[in-house]
Structure 1
């Protein structure tokens, strides 16, 4: 298996230089990342009994398939892994139907659809139009994490980072073993499309008091700060956060882009009607992607970001996806011009498309065993970076934010 992985690693390096990616810098980096994810997740899906000819076929596909085709396969590979994980957590958490005949499988997974953002995840709708929280076994988060490890040979721990600087704080650690291409973590929290940027706490300086924001290539921002460290129950969650975001830096620290944003628009306040209740499994042992640190100088990342569009039609998995979308279920199409986003006349959902949650997962880029997980933050070089930030690849940073 190590021999096959070396072939994949060489393919990752070679295909990144392929002329097929020679377009605008930002899209170039997106395509290179999709290509890497295609190779890594396909390698994982081959399994331990893979043959060399299977690996060579996938490498050949990576050099010929379009980016759209590779992207679809990445989504399928990630969804395949998460489906297995969600089914395993069901087997751990849901009551034994043999000993609890009142809860048959058809009831446990027949979730009625609610108006607004999402689907109810319970067996019915509680009073006050709140989704019902189905009964689960009374396990703590730590107990669920240990049982998850029994199924998949690894789980995640949060403890002080091994990076020797004061701002490192807590780090994300893999306990156990995982192969390259494995989905190791989900990035939890509230999802904001560009249409709702103004509602992000602290806007427009949204990152001034929040280190748990991440941006997808399509402009979607996920705020993991409200999720914190999860919880010890399956519960109704609406993304509310009691953390103070009001400590806004003085205007003297603003750059030209910040001033432009303030002139063109004003921050918006959330109202109760914009909080969307979901029944989510707060004990989810994968919901810690926001604790992964940037590697220190001399070390390299062992995970990478993978955009994942979770299909909301997969009702039986919804409770394990630790995200809610701000602003409702119906997407609004936006177009980007430089640093600004504007609403498009086109409908957000095209004919035949199903509603999705635009979230992120972390995928391993090599075999990992009992070590801290490191993610390339790819900070923009147009803004002042923290003293501890050492670029993994300066060219990638430039392309990402060009």
Structure 2
């Protein structure tokens, strides 16, 4: 298996430097798209390698490597989605077997909901709660207990503890406990999903990153804010995507430029209205919902995971509880936005195409090599047009430029 992985790694490096990309007039005009295609290519190779399994033969690996050089980007994207969905389906089924009570041998286990008092009936809370989704009964396991049982199934789980990066601002880090092969889905990036149509609702807008280090952007412009998720919880519950953190704290005057002050006066976050109400029953103990704790690698260290866009199909009702995200504005008909330079404009509502189902635009972290009991590092790819923190060392300056061009 190690020999096959070396072949895949060689293919990743070779295809990333393929001169046909650089010569294409499309990529000359849009280097950002070049980087997107390179990332899709890598993800196709890594996730396909993982799906081959331990019994893979060399001819199977060679066939996938050949496909990576010939298949279109859209075809590779589709296969990446299938590969990730395949892994997450197995994981969700395993968590179901751990958490859902066994009703075959006698009465079902008791639900963990607090008992209603006589006063609550008297004041009419029965009516108020009628519109709330039901929270199914689950076994009373703590988050740690679920994590340990998850490791028994998949040979790994995630831990949050102080980072090993030798820097005062390193904070907490994300650690893999156990072993995982290259191409494995190791974590999901949790939190609130904002499409470009709802940017102005992001707390702190327009300086959304000033008081929030847990924002991440997909290539399609979707932003995920993991700050409200924090460390999850110890139960399956209705999650509203809110917390008590003050995002709107003003920047210290020493850090605020004239431009910052002007933007703060002219552009303020919009407040959530009735149409933006959202809630979902989510498994807050999910042992994979910690992608937001992965740190950028220190100087001299290569990242061992990479970001993978994953469009979760909302038709998968049984899996929905394990996807730790909700869409700001609800999960109904999406709004189409068009980009002109740095600005986004509404262009009406986008009905789903024939044969397409509604999706949740999420992100997962995929391993880029075999990992065993170590801290996970993700290339943040900060824009080189803004001042970077002192701890940030670019992994690949050219990739950063293409990503934000």
TM-score normalised by L of structure 1: 0.90
Answer whether contact 1:179 1:367 (CA < 8 A) is retained.
yes
Q: Deviations over 1:75-115 (max 9, x none)?
A: 0000000000000000000001212xxxxxx9999999999
1:294–1:314 CA distance, 2 compared to 1 (3 A): same
1:120–1:88 CA distance, 2 compared to 1 (3 A): farther
| Aligned equivalents of 1:81, 1:152: Cα separation in 2 | 11
The 10-residue stretch of structure 1 (248-257 or 343-352) with the greater mean CA deviation from structure 2: 248-257
Query: Shift in Å at residue 260 of structure 1?
Result: 8.3
Query: Shift in Å at residue 24 of structure 1?
Result: 1.7
| Aligned equivalents of 2:315, 2:204: Cα separation in 1 | 33
Q: Deviations over 1:242-264 (max 9, x none)?
A: 10112122688567986786687
The 10-residue stretch of structure 1 (260-269 or 166-175) with the greater mean CA deviation from structure 2: 260-269
Aligned to 1:382, which of 385, 392, 401?
Answer: 385
Q: Deviations over 1:136-155 (max 9, x none)?
A: 00000000000000000000
Give the length in aligned residue pairs.
Answer: 396
Answer whether contact 1:126 1:132 (CA < 8 A) is retained.
no
Map 1:210-359 → 2, pairs under 5 A: 210-249=212-251, 253=255, 265-271=267-273, 274-328=276-330, 329-345=332-348, 347-359=350-362
1:110–1:344 CA distance, 2 compared to 1 (3 A): farther
Answer whether contact 2:335 2:348 (CA < 8 A) is retained.
no
1:36–1:289 CA distance, 2 compared to 1 (3 A): same
Answer whether contact 2:275 2:329 (CA < 8 A) is retained.
no
1:237–1:121 CA distance, 2 compared to 1 (3 A): farther
| Aligned equivalents of 1:193, 1:399: Cα separation in 2 | 22
| Aligned equivalents of 1:319, 1:280: Cα separation in 2 | 4
Q: Deviations over 1:308-342 (max 9, x none)?
A: 00000000000000000001222111111111111
3-state SS, counterpart of residue 366 of structure 2? strand
Aligned to 2:51, which of 18, 24, 45?
Answer: 45
| Aligned equivalents of 1:397, 1:336: Cα separation in 2 | 20
1:240–1:273 CA distance, 2 compared to 1 (3 A): farther
| Aligned equivalents of 1:147, 1:207: Cα separation in 2 | 36
1:134–1:388 CA distance, 2 compared to 1 (3 A): same
| Aligned equivalents of 1:121, 1:310: Cα separation in 2 | 40
- Pair member with larger Rg: 2
Q: What runs of 5+ residues in structure 1 fail to find an aligned partner?
A: 100-105
| Aligned equivalents of 2:270, 2:32: Cα separation in 1 | 30
Query: Shift in Å at residue 166 of structure 1?
Result: 1.2
Query: Shift in Å at residue 119 of structure 1?
Result: 27
| Aligned equivalents of 1:294, 1:121: Cα separation in 2 | 52
Query: Shift in Å at residue 350 of structure 1?
Result: 2.5
| Aligned equivalents of 2:238, 2:171: Cα separation in 1 | 29
1:110–1:9 CA distance, 2 compared to 1 (3 A): farther
Matched, 1:396 2:403: no
Query: Shift in Å at residue 16 of structure 1?
Result: 1.0
1:273–1:342 CA distance, 2 compared to 1 (3 A): closer
Q: Deviations over 1:217-251 (max 9, x none)?
A: 00000000000000110000010111011212268
Answer whether contact 1:239 1:275 (CA < 8 A) is retained.
no
Q: Deviations over 1:269-327 (max 9, x none)?
A: 12465231111000000000000000000101000000000000000000000000001
| Aligned equivalents of 1:34, 1:170: Cα separation in 2 | 29
3-state SS, counterpart of residue 276 of structure 1? coil
Answer whether contact 2:278 2:326 (CA < 8 A) is retained.
yes
| Aligned equivalents of 2:129, 2:82: Cα separation in 1 | 37
The 10-residue stretch of structure 1 (173-182 or 18-27) with the greater mean CA deviation from structure 2: 18-27
Instruction: Report what 1:7 is aligned to.
Output: 7
1:371–1:118 CA distance, 2 compared to 1 (3 A): farther
Q: Which runs of 4+ in 1 moved over 3 A?
A: 19-23, 106-126, 250-266
Q: Deviations over 1:187-209 (max 9, x none)?
A: 00000000000000000000000
Q: What runs of 5+ residues in structure 2 fail to find an aligned partner?
A: 21-26
Answer whether contact 1:121 1:315 (CA < 8 A) is retained.
no
The 10-residue stretch of structure 1 (268-277 or 3-12) with the greater mean CA deviation from structure 2: 268-277
| Aligned equivalents of 2:220, 2:122: Cα separation in 1 | 27
Answer whether contact 1:122 1:133 (CA < 8 A) is retained.
no
1:113–1:208 CA distance, 2 compared to 1 (3 A): farther
Answer whether contact 1:189 1:222 (CA < 8 A) is retained.
yes
Q: Deviations over 1:104-138 (max 9, x none)?
A: xx999999999999999999999330001100000
Matched, 1:74 2:80: yes
Instruction: Report what 1:93 is aligned to.
Output: 99
Answer whether contact 1:310 1:356 (CA < 8 A) is retained.
yes
| Aligned equivalents of 1:122, 1:51: Cα separation in 2 | 65
